[in-house]
Amino acid sequence: MSPISTQRHGDILIVTSNNPPVNTLGHAVREGLVKAIEEADADEAIKAVVIRCDGQTFFAGADISEFGKPMQMPMLPMVVDRIEECTKPVVAAIHGTALGGGLEVALACHYRVAVPSAKLGVPEVKLGLLPGAGGTQRLPRVVGVPKALEMTTSGNPIGAEEAFDLGLVDRLIEGDLAQHAVAYAEEVSDVRPIRKSSELDEKLAEARANPGMFDEFRKANARKMKGFDAPEANIKAVQAAVAKPYQEGVLDERRLFMELMTGTQARAQQYFFFAERKASKIDGLPEDTKPRDIKRVGVIGAGTMGGGISMNFLSAGIPVTIVEMAQDALDRGTGTMRKNYEATAAKGRMTAEEVEGAMGLLKPTLALEDLGDCDLIIEAVFENMEVKKDIFGKLDKIAKPGAILASNTSYLNVDEIAASTSRPQDVVGLHFFSPANIMKLLEVVRGARTAPDVLVTAMQLAKKIRKVAVVAGVCHGFIGNRMLMPRQIEATKLLLEGATPEQIDRVHVEFGMPMGPFQMADLAGVDIGWHRDPSRIENLRDKLAAEGRWGQKKGAGFYDYDEKRRPSPSPVVQTYIDEFAAKEGIQRREISDEEIMERTIYTMVNEGAKILEEGMAQRASDVDVVWVYGYGWPVYRGGPMFWADTVGLATIVEGLKRQQERLGSEFSLSEMLVKKAEAGEKFTR
Ligand code: T1G
């Protein structure tokens, strides 16, 4: 049974796709669309055509799960050209998200009508690709080059109203979309010549008159596009649309598309598209597990984390009761939240009413007892086990039955925290990443006794507050921070052995990380986790902390900073490094970038493998989701485990063995990693 059906409505042919969940343009849909257009051309009684979709959305693009498999005719470029060649006007009726190939189908239609809530975009760049079915050639002809460049290289959709202003949508429909689309088709059924996007030209004039706009665009977006192949290919394809007629420009598009499609970056980003969605699934839970209803959230602690965490819920319209110990801390915390919202509003990303709306849902208090009506309580206080156990003991008496009790701890043992209550089944870890209102990652730490419905509630709530949640087991540092440890240990040892902070950070930044280990330490705070005793100096970090070199916030850390927080190598720190090296009798030497890679990135992969063999992560792709969303691992490398597969696990094992001596006795190779390497297996395919 084809997902494409046709029906007559007077002299209009209505072509409907019913291909849940998002009407992807799989083979059967493509075949059905061509047949429907042929039916329209063959029958004189048909005066015009409407193409629409059942379900949640208009076509949401090509079927990504078909990529890498043998191509099945008709391919999408042929389908869209066939639609445009139809001898009767074709109208696209758009709702939901017309994305990628979906928007390309709409662009090949001669007219487009949409409901105001619809979104239109070309997210291919997020998959390491470009619109490969004429989109790079038709879109600039309809919306102009500047907008086409922005849409193709960002991958972000625009709303139907903006699309209407740009001329991408011809009419906004209030009411029944199908009915109004048919009426619109009647209106245009005898308009000749039929308007074809591929033949439009006037909106290209601006770029012809100002060819420098492409390089200006490249310069203005260099930072965002750094390391990615696809954005530049999108720009080149749009340039071809300006320089050549459609029939030629589309050949450039196809060549550029195939170059991207066969590259590692596209495979990595397509892998990550599914990895992100798989992370929300928890294996082995009873199918019918229902989430608990979360009407009000309590947050303990109004510091950086508590305030950021609260904002996530307030922005999603969920009321929050926030508790602090002292009025000035409470006022400081709520003041910071308001300031953050106002900064967002100043950037036009929120209205003043929305700011008031969010802050209006906040109930500040000094009384822990006020949390008695909360359905979820999140503790975000000082990272100390005794403090947390004391708080959970109190919560056990205050919280209502069935309330979920969560800790935002980033390292500590959630089972031990749970044991300080009479309801361990209601206890879970919700590890947000700082700044909590910005970072998308949420590690959901599953205690031994955590109930299934608590986990299901956490995953569902994560989606509601626009976080990407990953389930982690109870171990020191869970997934992300646990893999960070070998990296930090080796990076510090490398300093004493002869590398410099800037060399180590450069290797990581060249790899594609947003910053290296020491830049990250200076940003987060060198004093994080410091014992606060300036007389106790056991290592380099103690020394820096004792000297007040706490990082950017103090104008000095591993680097020196000027008033604009621009870093420069610190001779003082180099002296400390030399002193520690001398004290430990370390003969300093020239250290290669390769050794830095092997000792700081290969060791992370090894730790990821241990996390998997201990069952502390459900799947390798979850580890990748943690690192892309929690630490900025370059998505065009897929994540540590996907990347290790592309390098080859045998190469990883070889490199670690080469460093075995320097890694020291506390390092051990993961058995799973060695076994997979020997068997020629992979983590992520
Ligand atoms: N291909 C295959 N499966 C897809 C898919 C796609 N394009 N889009 C969604 N799914 C699956 C998804 O894996 C999930 O499956 C289910 O549908 C619901 O998705 C030639 C080459 C449309 C905004 O990049 O942005 O066209 O987990 O959980 O939150 O130029 O899905 O249920 O088994 O995300 O309501 C371009 C990608 C393709 C759009 C809906 N298009 N999709 O969000 O649901 S490349 C895209 C989305 C292309 C042409 C090029 C979102 C959504 P499961 P979901 P949602």
The ligand 1 site (C-beta within 6 Å) comprises 21-22, 24, 57, 60-65, 76, 97, 99-101, 104, 123-124, 127, 129, 131-133, 135, 277
Question: Which of residues 200, 235, 262 is at a domain's end?
Answer: 262
Residues 175 and 54 in one domain: yes
Structural domain includes residue 234? yes
Residues 49 and 80 in one domain: yes
Question: Which of residues 445, 477, 509 is at a domain's end?
Answer: 477
pLDDT at 204: 97
**Nearest atom within ligand 1 for CA of residue 123:** 24
pLDDT band at 85 (very low <50, low <70, confident <90, very high): very high
CATH of the domain at 556: 1.10.1040.50
Neighbours of 225 (CB within 10 A): 19
Residues 242 and 327 in one domain: no
Residues 57 and 157 in one domain: yes
Residues 234 and 95 in one domain: yes
Residues 223 and 311 in one domain: no
pLDDT in tens, 114-141: 999 999 999 999 999 999 999 999 999 9
Structural domain includes residue 369? yes
pLDDT band at 154 (very low <50, low <70, confident <90, very high): very high
CATH of the domain at 427: 3.40.50.720
As a three-state string, the secondary structure of 569-600 is ECHHHHHHHHHHHHHCCCCCCCCCHHHHHHHH
Angle among Cα 394, 398, 401 to the nearest 5 degrees reads 120
Type and span of the H or E element at 510: helix 501-511
Neighbours of 41 (CB within 10 A): 15
Residues 116 and 63 in one domain: yes
Structural domain includes residue 599? no
Domain tally, the chain = 3
Structural domain includes residue 656? no
**Nearest atom within ligand 1 for CA of residue 56:** 35
Question: Which one is catalytic: 84, 124, 379, 607?
Answer: 124
pLDDT in tens, 444-493: 999 999 999 999 999 999 999 999 999 999 999 999 999 999 999 999 99
Please give the share of the chain, as a percent, with pLDDT higher than 90.
95
- The residues near 196 (Cβ < 8 Å, ≥ 6 apart) are 84, 110
Q: How far is the CA of 126 from the centre of ligand 1 (A)?
A: 12
Share the mean pLDDT of the chain.
Answer: 96
pLDDT at 216: 97
pTM score of the predicted model: 0.94
Q: How far is the CA of 442 from the centre of ligand 1 (A)?
A: 22
pLDDT band at 287 (very low <50, low <70, confident <90, very high): confident
Question: Which one is catalytic: 104, 253, 443, 490?
Answer: 104
pLDDT band at 109 (very low <50, low <70, confident <90, very high): very high
pLDDT in tens, 205-227: 999 999 999 999 999 999 999 99
Q: Is 563 one of the catalytic residues?
A: no
Q: Which two tokens stand for residue 17?
A: 């796709």
pLDDT in tens, 610-642: 999 999 999 999 999 999 999 999 999 999 999
Residues 473 and 510 in one domain: no
pLDDT at 68: 84
Q: Is 104 one of the catalytic residues?
A: yes
Counting Cβ atoms within 10 Å, is residue 74 exposed (0-12), middle (13-18) or buried (19+)? middle
Structural domain includes residue 385? yes
Q: Tell me the residue length of the chain.
A: 685
DSSP letter for 437, please: T
Residues 387 and 349 in one domain: yes
CATH of the domain at 189: 3.90.226.10
* CA atoms of 524 and 515, how far apart (whole Å): 12
Average pLDDT over residues 165-187: 98
Smallest CA separation from ligand 1 atom 34, residue: 277
Structural domain includes residue 486? no
Structural domain includes residue 280? no
Residues 327 and 363 in one domain: yes
Q: Which of 27, 64, 625 to mutate to test the pocket of ligand 1 (most atoms within 8 A of CB)?
A: 64
Q: Print the domain residue range for 116.
A: 4-262
Closest to 612 (Cα-Cα) out of 620, 624, 604: 620
Q: How far is the CA of 180 from the centre of ligand 1 (A)?
A: 27
Type and span of the H or E element at 397: helix 385-398
Residues 199 and 67 in one domain: yes
Residues 396 and 529 in one domain: no
Question: Which of residues 477, 511, 546 is at a domain's end?
Answer: 477
pLDDT at 97: 98
DSSP letter for 151, please: H
Q: How far is the CA of 22 from the centre of ligand 1 (A)?
A: 7
pLDDT at 531: 87
pLDDT at 685: 81
**Nearest atom within ligand 1 for CA of residue 278:** 27
* CA atoms of 240 and 662, how far apart (whole Å): 53
Q: How far is the CA of 98 from the centre of ligand 1 (A)?
A: 11
Structural domain includes residue 38? yes
Average pLDDT over residues 317-332: 97
pLDDT in tens, 569-613: 999 999 999 999 999 999 999 999 999 999 999 999 999 999 999
Helix ranges restricted to H, 262-351: 264-278, 304-315, 327-346
Res. 397: pLDDT tops 90: yes
Smallest CA separation from ligand 1 atom 49, residue: 101
